[in-house]
Amino acid sequence: MNHIESTSDAVPQVHMLGRVMRRLKPMVLGAAGTVFLASCASNAPQDTWVPKGPNAQKIDSLQKPVFAVAGIIGVIVAVVVTYSVIKFRDRGQPIPKQSHGNPALEITLTIIPALILAVVGVFTFRTVFDLNKTSDTQMIINVTGQQWWWEYDYPANNEYGITQPIITSGQLVIPVGTKVMLRQTSRDVIHSYWIPALNGKRDAVPGRITINRLEADEPGIYAGQCTEFCGLSHANMRMEAVALSKEDFAKWVSNQLKTYAAPAENTLAKEGETVFLNQCTRCHQVNGLTRADGTPVIAAPDENVWSGAAPNLSHLMSRNTFAGAMFNLVTPECRTDVWKSESLTFGAKYLAGVDEPCLNQTDLRGWLRNAPAMKPMYANPALLAATGGKYRGMPNLGLSESDIEKLVAYLLTLK
């Protein structure tokens, strides 16, 4: 902001000038202000100028100078135009000589930007190939987009103690300082995976696998959002990448691999398990859940949902979000507590999961009561001719308040 003021002080106040400056103000703000933008700390969680990992850092070190050069050129053009507008206005001078140009000047002014761009081009070239390197990958996670949530599938990986695949959603959990490769695809339309603090975006294209790389320097939660328009609830398809220290990550893995613990008999939660079995397991898997006769429950989302998948709810309470990260599973106070905690204490807080006092009862109950009312989805049974009766999103299950009460109690046991 200082920049603008000092400019207007420096130039003598001619009548035209006021107008010119008014026009230039947003211009200067747009161009030179970008420099200002960089220096100013800001806390929008998806800020693209605050890299928190080496991939984003590479992009950042490439783009900041480009912004600066662009800003400078913008200011030069604005100043020259302003100067011409003031200096050459009609003061009754004779009609100027009808000169048709100056080829030498033209060529010079063509070559200079070409050279600048050539330099930018060289660095761009290097960074493009650098960012596409995959040979040093340490960990692979399969990421699958569907309307309107992401599924994360951790293939077995002995090095990280992942003895059997982990399937989760809502939050992508990665170890700090690890070069993670995301193998992305989609089950319906094109989505795009983007955690600005960790890397640029990469589309998830159905029928293809695209590669994205993430690495976080510090433990913490990094926000992101789907950036390829993917239909009705595109705005609500969010993601959060959670980076944990290596030890904490190991704890997270062992929690995810923990076997299912059925709620104790004669509790509300046990009744909730029955509701869950009747209502939810058509689509949602909870690993290890068995029916009363002891047979394992295998959810069949492919029969009910167009994309053929619904979030796996095993260990739901180890996550902070639900419904495609649209809603927080924790209350705003608890959320702030986790998000704002120092990187040293962050891991422990995150791994504590969600307990009853922290549970965001309002949104969770609202969701169970009538999901399509909380998130636009194609879940009206009368309007599913195009998809052969399959839903895109979660329908209204028509649960009674007591069923919701029981379900909430049950879900709280899915630690």
Partner 1 sequence: MAIIERPVSLEVQPLIVVAPATPSSAMGAVKRPVVTKGWRQWVFTVDHKKLGLMYMATAMFFFLVGGIEAVLIRLQLALPDGKILNADLYNQMFTMHATTMVFLFVMPMAAGFANYFIPLQIGARDVAFPRINAFGFWALLFGGLFINLSWFLGGAADGGWFMYAPNSGPIFSPSHGVDFWTFGLQIAGIASLTGAINLIVTVLNMRAPGMKLMRMPIFTWMILVVQFLLAFAVPVITVALFLLSFQRNFGATFFDVAAGADPLLWQHLFWIFGHPEVYILILPSFGIISEVLPVFSRKPLFGYPFVVFSGAAIGFVGWGVWAHHMFASGLGPVSVAVFSISTMAIAVPTGVKIVNWTLTLWGGKLWFTTAMKFSIGLIVLFTIGGLSGVTHAVAPSDTQQTDTYYIVAHFHYVLFGGAVLGLFSGFYYWWPKMFGKMLNEKLGTWNFWFMVVGMNLTFGPMHILGLQGQPRRMYQWTENRAGEGFFNLGFWNLIASIGSLVLVVGVFLFLVNIYITARNGKVAPLDPWGARSLEWMTSNPPKEHNFDSIPTVHHLDEFFHRKYAEDANGQMQQVATAEQVLKQLEDNADAHIHMPSPSYWPIILAFGLPVTCLGLIYSIPLAIFGGLIILMGTFGWALEPSTAPDSDFDPPSSGDTSKDVVHVG
List binders of partner 1 among 103-122 (CB under 8 A).
Answer: 103, 105-106, 109-110, 113-114, 117, 120-121
**Is residue 230 a contact residue for partner 1 (CB under 8 A)?**
yes
- Interface with partner 1 (CB under 8 A), residue from 8, 11, 21, 45: 45
Question: What span, in angstroms and rounded, lies between the C-alpha atoms of 132 and 252?
Answer: 29
- Interface with partner 1 (CB under 8 A), residue from 229, 262, 288, 373: 229
Q: How many residues does the chain have?
A: 415
Rounded to 5°, the CA angle 63-59-183 comes to 150
**Is residue 183 a contact residue for partner 1 (CB under 8 A)?**
no
**Is residue 201 a contact residue for partner 1 (CB under 8 A)?**
yes
**Is residue 125 a contact residue for partner 1 (CB under 8 A)?**
yes
Closer residue to partner 1 (CB): 55 or 413: 55
Q: Which token pair is 395?
A: 């329908």
Separation of first and last alpha carbons in the chain:
50
Closer residue to partner 1 (CB): 230 or 297: 230
Strands 321-322 and 327-328: antiparallel
Count the residues of the shown chain that bind partner 1, applying the rule CB under 8 A: 108
Q: What's the min distance (Å) between Cβ of 398 and partner 1?
A: 22
| HEC sequence for 234-272 | HHHCEEEEEEECHHHHHHHHHHHHCCCCCCCCCCHHHHH
Cis peptide before 252 (omega within 30 of 0): no
- C-beta of residue 320 within 8 angstroms of C-beta of residue 310: no
Close Cβ partners of 14 (under 8 Å, ≥ 6 residues apart): 86
- Interface with partner 1 (CB under 8 A), residue from 48, 274, 341, 396: 48
State whether residue 157 is helix, strand or coil: strand
Residues 368-407 that bind partner 1 (CB under 8 A): 376, 383, 385-387, 392
Closer residue to partner 1 (CB): 338 or 409: 338
Amino acid at 158: N
Q: What's the min distance (Å) between Cβ of 128 and partner 1?
A: 5
Region class of 143: left (phi > 0), else alpha (psi between -120 and 50), else beta: beta
Residues 69-88 that bind partner 1 (CB under 8 A): 70-71, 73-74, 77-78, 80-81, 84-85, 88
Closer residue to partner 1 (CB): 227 or 318: 227
Question: What span, in angstroms and rounded, lies between the C-alpha atoms of 35 and 143?
Answer: 35
Beta carbons within 10 angstroms of residue 376's beta carbon: 15
**Is residue 199 a contact residue for partner 1 (CB under 8 A)?**
yes
Cis peptide before 367 (omega within 30 of 0): no
Q: What's the min distance (Å) between Cβ of 205 and partner 1?
A: 6
Q: Which stretch binds partner 1 (CB under 8 A): 165-173, 206-214, 260-268, 312-320?
A: 206-214
Q: Which token pair is 31?
A: 């161009």
**Is residue 2 a contact residue for partner 1 (CB under 8 A)?**
no
Closer residue to partner 1 (CB): 255 or 387: 387
- Interface with partner 1 (CB under 8 A), residue from 210, 267, 274, 304: 210
**Is residue 17 a contact residue for partner 1 (CB under 8 A)?**
no
Strands 191-193 and 139-146: unpaired
Residues 318-337 that bind partner 1 (CB under 8 A): 328
**Is residue 34 a contact residue for partner 1 (CB under 8 A)?**
yes
Closest CA to 277 of 263, 258, 262, 297: 297
Q: What's the min distance (Å) between Cβ of 68 and partner 1?
A: 10
Q: What's the min distance (Å) between Cβ of 400 and partner 1?
A: 28
Q: Could you tell me which residues are beta bridge partners of residue 183?
A: 142, 211
Closer residue to partner 1 (CB): 70 or 351: 70
Q: How far is CA 216 from CA 22, 51, 180, 258, in A?
A: 43, 9, 9, 26
Q: What's the min distance (Å) between Cβ of 50 and partner 1?
A: 10
Closest CA to 365 of 394, 405, 396, 316: 405
Q: Which stretch binds partner 1 (CB under 8 A): 3-11, 189-197, 348-356, 357-365?
A: 189-197
Residues 129-158 that bind partner 1 (CB under 8 A): 129, 131-132
Q: Which token pair is 108?
A: 């010079």
Residues 243-302 that bind partner 1 (CB under 8 A): none
Q: What's the min distance (Å) between Cβ of 242 and partner 1?
A: 16
